[in-house]
Amino acid sequence: MPAKSAKSKRPQHRYVIDVAAPAADKIFDVAAFEKFLHDRIKVQGRTNNLGDSVTITREGDENVIIDASIDFSKRYLKYLTKKFLKKNNLRDWLRVVATSKDTYKLKYFNISNKDEAEESEDEDDEE
């Protein structure tokens, strides 16, 4: 029975964060988000320790792709994405939604004017 090499046991993770909708509306800076991830992702408990184990790339203004050859949590990316949105005061309008096993998408909250109109009518009736 041949011994397995250490390279075959290395996990390969490829996560995609789809930022096309807010980037198209010019409210989301993809380059700043990529730099934020570079600065904040921790490897072995330390930031700025990405090395060859984690690579962050972007495809135009649509996707940010994270390739990791170490154990890497998708939930950690959601946490960092939400932190970036909060830092840039976008958390009230955007949310992070998992669209597949390895993909997150930034979507707008559904805010309809119809609900607001009904609320204002109710307030008028109370007076």
H or E segment to which residue 26 belongs: none
pLDDT tens per residue, range 29-47: 999 999 999 999 999 999 9
Angstrom distances, CA of residue 26 to CA of 3, 20, 21, 47, 96: 53, 10, 9, 29, 18
* pTM, 2 dp: 0.78
Query: Over its length of 127 residues, how does the chain's per-residue pLDDT go in tens digits?
Result: 555 555 556 679 999 999 999 999 999 999 999 999 999 999 999 998 898 999 999 998 899 999 999 999 999 999 999 999 999 999 999 999 999 999 999 999 987 765 555 555 555 555 5
pLDDT tens per residue, range 83-100: 999 999 999 999 999 999
